[in-house]
Protein backbone atom coordinates (compact mmCIF):
# COMPACT_ATOMS: atom_id res chain seq x y z
CA UNK A 1 0.00 0.00 0.00
CA UNK A 2 2.80 2.39 0.93
CA UNK A 3 4.61 1.70 -2.31
CA UNK A 4 1.44 2.36 -4.28
CA UNK A 5 0.99 5.77 -2.59
CA UNK A 6 4.60 6.66 -3.32
CA UNK A 7 4.14 5.68 -6.95
CA UNK A 8 0.94 7.76 -7.26
CA UNK A 9 2.68 10.78 -5.72
CA UNK A 10 5.58 10.29 -8.13
CA UNK A 11 3.24 10.21 -11.11
CA UNK A 12 1.43 13.36 -9.91
CA UNK A 13 4.71 15.20 -9.42
CA UNK A 14 5.90 14.10 -12.82
CA UNK A 15 2.65 15.30 -14.43
CA UNK A 16 2.83 18.64 -12.62
CA UNK A 17 6.46 19.07 -13.69
CA UNK A 18 5.63 18.29 -17.31
CA UNK A 19 2.69 20.70 -17.22
CA UNK A 20 4.80 23.41 -15.60
CA UNK A 21 7.55 22.88 -18.13
CA UNK A 22 5.06 23.03 -21.00
CA UNK A 23 3.55 26.23 -19.59
CA UNK A 24 7.01 27.72 -19.19
CA UNK A 25 7.89 26.84 -22.78
CA UNK A 26 4.65 28.37 -24.01
CA UNK A 27 5.37 31.53 -22.02
CA UNK A 28 8.86 31.72 -23.49
CA UNK A 29 7.53 31.23 -27.02
CA UNK A 30 4.91 33.96 -26.44
CA UNK A 31 7.60 36.29 -25.07
CA UNK A 32 9.87 35.65 -28.06
CA UNK A 33 6.99 36.35 -30.48
CA UNK A 34 6.17 39.57 -28.61
CA UNK A 35 9.80 40.74 -28.73
CA UNK A 36 10.05 39.96 -32.46
CA UNK A 37 6.80 41.83 -33.06
CA UNK A 38 8.10 44.87 -31.21
CA UNK A 39 11.35 44.78 -33.18
CA UNK A 40 9.43 44.64 -36.46
CA UNK A 41 7.21 47.53 -35.34
CA UNK A 42 10.24 49.62 -34.43
CA UNK A 43 11.82 48.93 -37.79
CA UNK A 44 8.69 49.84 -39.75
CA UNK A 45 8.10 53.52 -40.54
CA UNK A 46 5.47 55.03 -38.25
CA UNK A 47 2.22 55.72 -40.05
CA UNK A 48 1.06 59.31 -39.96
CA UNK A 49 -2.22 59.71 -38.11
CA UNK A 50 -5.08 62.00 -39.12
CA UNK A 51 -7.51 63.73 -36.80
CA UNK A 52 -10.73 65.68 -37.16
CA UNK A 53 -10.14 69.33 -36.30
CA UNK A 54 -12.68 70.62 -33.79
CA UNK A 55 -16.18 71.01 -35.22
CA UNK A 56 -14.91 71.18 -38.80
CA UNK A 57 -14.94 68.54 -41.52
CA UNK A 58 -11.18 68.84 -41.88
CA UNK A 59 -9.17 65.67 -41.27
CA UNK A 60 -5.63 66.90 -40.79
CA UNK A 61 -2.32 65.10 -40.39
CA UNK A 62 -0.97 65.08 -36.84
CA UNK A 63 1.96 67.14 -38.13
CA UNK A 64 1.46 70.54 -39.74
CA UNK A 65 4.21 72.10 -41.86
CA UNK A 66 5.04 75.62 -40.68
CA UNK A 67 6.46 78.01 -43.25
CA UNK A 68 7.51 81.16 -41.42
CA UNK A 69 11.18 80.83 -42.42
CA UNK A 70 10.38 80.65 -46.15
CA UNK A 71 11.80 83.75 -47.81
CA UNK A 72 14.16 84.69 -44.97
CA UNK A 73 16.16 81.68 -43.78
CA UNK A 74 15.05 79.39 -46.62
CA UNK A 75 15.39 80.02 -50.35
CA UNK A 76 12.50 79.29 -52.69
CA UNK A 77 14.08 76.02 -53.84
CA UNK A 78 14.69 74.92 -50.25
CA UNK A 79 11.12 75.88 -49.37
CA UNK A 80 9.69 73.91 -52.29
CA UNK A 81 11.84 70.90 -51.41
CA UNK A 82 10.49 70.95 -47.84
CA UNK A 83 6.92 71.33 -49.08
CA UNK A 84 7.24 68.46 -51.54
CA UNK A 85 8.93 66.15 -49.04
CA UNK A 86 6.25 66.84 -46.42
CA UNK A 87 3.46 66.32 -48.93
CA UNK A 88 5.00 63.02 -50.09
CA UNK A 89 5.17 61.82 -46.45
CA UNK A 90 1.44 62.37 -45.98
CA UNK A 91 1.38 65.81 -44.35
CA UNK A 92 -1.73 67.44 -45.76
CA UNK A 93 -1.85 70.78 -43.93
CA UNK A 94 0.51 73.73 -44.15
CA UNK A 95 0.44 76.96 -42.21
CA UNK A 96 1.43 80.43 -43.36
CA UNK A 97 0.51 84.04 -42.48
CA UNK A 98 0.25 87.38 -44.20
CA UNK A 99 3.11 88.73 -42.07
CA UNK A 100 5.61 85.96 -42.94
CA UNK A 101 8.53 85.49 -43.22
CA UNK A 102 9.87 86.13 -39.74
CA UNK A 103 11.15 88.60 -38.71
CA UNK A 104 8.48 90.86 -40.23
CA UNK A 105 9.67 93.68 -42.43
CA UNK A 106 8.17 95.54 -45.34
CA UNK A 107 10.65 94.38 -47.97
CA UNK A 108 10.00 90.67 -47.37
CA UNK A 109 6.37 90.65 -46.17
CA UNK A 110 4.29 88.19 -48.19
CA UNK A 111 7.26 86.37 -49.69
CA UNK A 112 6.36 83.18 -47.84
CA UNK A 113 2.91 83.18 -49.45
CA UNK A 114 4.44 83.67 -52.89
CA UNK A 115 6.73 80.67 -52.43
CA UNK A 116 3.82 78.55 -51.21
CA UNK A 117 1.55 79.77 -54.00
CA UNK A 118 3.99 78.85 -56.74
CA UNK A 119 4.41 75.39 -55.22
CA UNK A 120 0.63 74.97 -54.90
CA UNK A 121 0.18 75.34 -58.66
CA UNK A 122 1.68 71.89 -59.17
CA UNK A 123 -0.49 70.14 -56.59
CA UNK A 124 -4.17 69.10 -56.50
CA UNK A 125 -5.82 71.90 -54.55
CA UNK A 126 -8.23 69.59 -52.73
CA UNK A 127 -5.33 67.51 -51.37
CA UNK A 128 -3.76 70.42 -49.49
CA UNK A 129 -5.35 72.02 -46.42
CA UNK A 130 -4.17 75.61 -46.50
CA UNK A 131 -4.13 77.56 -43.25
CA UNK A 132 -3.15 81.19 -43.00
CA UNK A 133 -3.49 84.07 -40.56
CA UNK A 134 -4.74 87.64 -40.56
CA UNK A 135 -2.93 90.02 -38.21
CA UNK A 136 -4.53 91.39 -35.07
CA UNK A 137 -3.87 94.77 -33.48
CA UNK A 138 -0.59 96.10 -34.88
CA UNK A 139 1.27 99.23 -35.89
CA UNK A 140 2.80 97.46 -38.90
CA UNK A 141 0.84 99.59 -41.36
CA UNK A 142 2.84 98.23 -44.32
CA UNK A 143 0.42 95.29 -44.20
CA UNK A 144 -2.38 97.52 -45.51
CA UNK A 145 -2.72 99.98 -48.38
CA UNK A 146 -4.13 102.80 -46.29
CA UNK A 147 -4.36 102.28 -42.56
CA UNK A 148 -3.26 104.21 -39.51
CA UNK A 149 -3.38 100.98 -37.49
CA UNK A 150 -3.94 97.32 -38.35
CA UNK A 151 -7.06 95.97 -36.65
CA UNK A 152 -9.18 92.81 -36.77
CA UNK A 153 -12.17 94.66 -38.20
CA UNK A 154 -14.10 94.04 -41.41
CA UNK A 155 -12.07 96.27 -43.79
CA UNK A 156 -8.73 94.95 -42.51
CA UNK A 157 -9.79 91.30 -42.56
CA UNK A 158 -11.23 91.58 -46.06
CA UNK A 159 -8.13 93.31 -47.46
CA UNK A 160 -5.87 90.75 -45.79
CA UNK A 161 -7.76 87.79 -47.24
CA UNK A 162 -7.94 89.23 -50.76
CA UNK A 163 -4.18 89.81 -50.79
CA UNK A 164 -3.47 86.38 -49.32
CA UNK A 165 -5.59 84.67 -51.96
CA UNK A 166 -3.70 86.50 -54.68
CA UNK A 167 -0.25 85.64 -53.32
CA UNK A 168 -1.21 82.03 -52.65
CA UNK A 169 -2.69 81.57 -56.14
CA UNK A 170 -5.90 80.04 -54.80
CA UNK A 171 -9.62 80.79 -54.69
CA UNK A 172 -10.16 79.85 -51.08
CA UNK A 173 -8.50 79.40 -47.70
CA UNK A 174 -9.32 76.24 -45.76
CA UNK A 175 -8.57 77.65 -42.32
CA UNK A 176 -8.16 81.32 -41.40
CA UNK A 177 -6.79 82.27 -37.98
CA UNK A 178 -6.66 85.65 -36.31
CA UNK A 179 -2.90 85.68 -35.69
CA UNK A 180 -3.10 87.43 -32.34
CA UNK A 181 -5.96 89.21 -30.56
CA UNK A 182 -7.20 92.68 -31.41
CA UNK A 183 -6.91 93.50 -27.72
CA UNK A 184 -3.99 93.53 -25.31
CA UNK A 185 -2.90 90.11 -24.06
CA UNK A 186 0.37 89.00 -22.47
CA UNK A 187 2.39 87.69 -25.43
CA UNK A 188 5.91 87.10 -26.69
CA UNK A 189 7.90 87.09 -23.48
CA UNK A 190 5.26 88.47 -21.13
CA UNK A 191 4.27 85.98 -18.44
CA UNK A 192 1.57 87.93 -16.63
CA UNK A 193 -1.30 90.18 -17.61
CA UNK A 194 -0.64 93.90 -17.18
CA UNK A 195 -4.01 95.52 -16.51
CA UNK A 196 -2.64 98.99 -17.25
CA UNK A 197 -2.25 98.00 -20.92
CA UNK A 198 -5.96 97.32 -21.44
CA UNK A 199 -7.39 99.04 -24.50
CA UNK A 200 -10.69 98.98 -26.41
CA UNK A 201 -10.91 96.29 -29.07
CA UNK A 202 -13.09 95.33 -32.00
CA UNK A 203 -16.08 93.47 -30.50
CA UNK A 204 -15.92 89.70 -30.86
CA UNK A 205 -19.27 89.71 -32.64
CA UNK A 206 -18.01 92.18 -35.26
CA UNK A 207 -14.91 90.08 -35.93
CA UNK A 208 -17.08 87.01 -36.48
CA UNK A 209 -19.46 88.96 -38.76
CA UNK A 210 -16.53 89.97 -40.95
CA UNK A 211 -15.38 86.37 -41.14
CA UNK A 212 -18.94 85.22 -41.87
CA UNK A 213 -19.00 87.40 -44.99
CA UNK A 214 -15.87 85.72 -46.31
CA UNK A 215 -17.30 82.28 -45.57
CA UNK A 216 -20.51 83.21 -47.41
CA UNK A 217 -18.43 84.34 -50.39
CA UNK A 218 -16.65 80.97 -50.47
CA UNK A 219 -13.25 82.51 -49.77
CA UNK A 220 -12.80 80.95 -46.33
CA UNK A 221 -14.01 77.55 -45.12
CA UNK A 222 -13.27 77.57 -41.38
CA UNK A 223 -11.94 80.01 -38.82
CA UNK A 224 -9.78 79.89 -35.72
CA UNK A 225 -7.67 81.96 -33.36
CA UNK A 226 -4.00 82.10 -32.46
CA UNK A 227 -2.04 83.25 -29.42
CA UNK A 228 -5.40 83.42 -27.67
CA UNK A 229 -6.43 83.08 -24.03
CA UNK A 230 -9.26 81.19 -22.35
CA UNK A 231 -11.16 84.46 -22.03
CA UNK A 232 -10.87 85.09 -25.77
CA UNK A 233 -11.86 81.56 -26.77
CA UNK A 234 -14.92 81.65 -24.54
CA UNK A 235 -15.99 85.07 -25.82
CA UNK A 236 -15.70 83.95 -29.46
CA UNK A 237 -17.66 80.76 -28.76
CA UNK A 238 -20.30 82.69 -26.82
CA UNK A 239 -20.69 85.34 -29.55
CA UNK A 240 -21.08 82.65 -32.22
CA UNK A 241 -23.77 80.87 -30.19
CA UNK A 242 -25.73 84.01 -29.29
CA UNK A 243 -25.74 85.56 -32.76
CA UNK A 244 -25.73 82.54 -35.06
CA UNK A 245 -22.22 83.27 -36.34
CA UNK A 246 -19.47 80.83 -37.36
CA UNK A 247 -17.70 79.11 -34.48
CA UNK A 248 -13.95 78.90 -34.21
CA UNK A 249 -12.72 75.34 -34.77
CA UNK A 250 -9.05 75.71 -33.81
CA UNK A 251 -6.51 77.53 -31.72
CA UNK A 252 -2.88 77.88 -32.74
CA UNK A 253 -0.79 78.48 -29.63
CA UNK A 254 2.75 77.67 -28.63
CA UNK A 255 3.02 74.28 -26.91
CA UNK A 256 6.03 72.11 -26.12
CA UNK A 257 7.90 70.57 -23.20
CA UNK A 258 9.24 74.07 -22.55
CA UNK A 259 5.94 75.93 -22.94
CA UNK A 260 3.11 73.99 -21.32
CA UNK A 261 1.37 75.82 -18.50
CA UNK A 262 -0.48 78.42 -20.58
CA UNK A 263 -2.43 75.65 -22.31
CA UNK A 264 -2.54 72.85 -19.76
CA UNK A 265 -3.73 74.93 -16.81
CA UNK A 266 -7.05 76.05 -18.29
CA UNK A 267 -7.15 76.22 -22.10
CA UNK A 268 -7.13 72.42 -22.19
CA UNK A 269 -10.44 72.40 -20.32
CA UNK A 270 -11.97 75.10 -22.49
CA UNK A 271 -10.94 73.37 -25.72
CA UNK A 272 -11.94 69.85 -24.60
CA UNK A 273 -14.26 68.09 -27.11
CA UNK A 274 -17.00 67.89 -24.47
CA UNK A 275 -16.79 71.63 -23.80
CA UNK A 276 -16.00 74.07 -26.63
CA UNK A 277 -14.37 71.48 -28.93
CA UNK A 278 -11.60 73.71 -30.26
CA UNK A 279 -8.66 71.81 -31.75
CA UNK A 280 -5.11 72.74 -30.76
CA UNK A 281 -2.57 73.32 -33.51
CA UNK A 282 0.65 73.56 -31.50
CA UNK A 283 3.35 75.79 -32.89
CA UNK A 284 7.04 75.49 -31.94
CA UNK A 285 6.58 71.93 -30.59
CA UNK A 286 10.38 71.62 -30.43
CA UNK A 287 10.78 74.90 -28.57
CA UNK A 288 12.16 76.72 -31.64
CA UNK A 289 14.67 73.91 -32.05
CA UNK A 290 16.01 74.08 -28.49
CA UNK A 291 14.71 70.58 -27.71
CA UNK A 292 16.67 69.10 -30.62
CA UNK A 293 19.92 69.93 -28.83
CA UNK A 294 21.33 71.83 -31.79
CA UNK A 295 22.09 74.90 -29.66
CA UNK A 296 24.37 72.94 -27.32
CA UNK A 297 27.36 73.37 -29.63
CA UNK A 298 27.97 77.01 -30.45
CA UNK A 299 30.92 76.03 -32.63
CA UNK A 300 28.99 73.83 -35.07
CA UNK A 301 29.42 74.85 -38.68
CA UNK A 302 25.94 76.21 -39.32
CA UNK A 303 25.00 77.40 -35.81
CA UNK A 304 24.99 81.04 -36.93
CA UNK A 305 22.04 80.29 -39.22
CA UNK A 306 19.82 79.00 -36.37
CA UNK A 307 16.86 81.27 -35.72
CA UNK A 308 17.59 82.07 -32.08
CA UNK A 309 21.10 83.08 -33.07
CA UNK A 310 19.84 85.22 -35.93
CA UNK A 311 17.02 86.75 -33.88
CA UNK A 312 17.92 86.44 -30.17
CA UNK A 313 14.90 85.86 -27.95
CA UNK A 314 12.53 85.40 -30.88
CA UNK A 315 10.65 82.12 -30.47
Q: Name the residues annotated as catalytic.
A: 100
Cα 62 to Cα 291: distance, rounded to the nearest angstrom: 19
Cα 309 to Cα 300: distance, rounded to the nearest angstrom: 12
Give all strands (DSSP E) within the chain, no chain letters: 50-52, 59-61, 65-66, 93-95, 129-134, 173-178, 220-226, 250-252, 279-280
Comparing C-alpha atoms, which of 207, 265, 255, 208 is closest to residue 227? 255
Beta bridge partners, 279, equal: 250
Cα 40 to Cα 36: distance, rounded to the nearest angstrom: 6
Burial of 2 (0-12, 13-18, 19+ CB in 10 A): exposed
Helix (H) and strand (E) counts in the chain: 9, 9
CB within 8 Å of 211: residues ≥ 6 apart: 157, 176, 220, 223, 245, 246
Distances (CA, A) of 238 to 110, 163, 231, 260: 33, 30, 10, 26
Kindly report whether the peptide bond that precedes residue 82 is cis, defined as omega within 30 degrees of 0.
Answer: no
Residue 64 near residue 95 (C-beta atoms within 8 A): yes
Cα 38 to Cα 35: distance, rounded to the nearest angstrom: 5
Q: How far is CA 49 from the centre of its chain?
A: 14
Beta bridge partners, 134, equal: 178
Amino acid sequence: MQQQKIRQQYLRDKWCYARSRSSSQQSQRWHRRRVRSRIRSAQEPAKLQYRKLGDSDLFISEITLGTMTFGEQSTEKESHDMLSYSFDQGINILDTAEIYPIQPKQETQGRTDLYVGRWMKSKPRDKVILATKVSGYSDRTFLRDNAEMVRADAPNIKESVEKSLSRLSTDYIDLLHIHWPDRYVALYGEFSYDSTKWKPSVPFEDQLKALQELIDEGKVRYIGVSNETSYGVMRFVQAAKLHGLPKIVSIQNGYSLLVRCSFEVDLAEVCHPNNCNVGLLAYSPLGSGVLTGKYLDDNSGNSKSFRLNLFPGYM
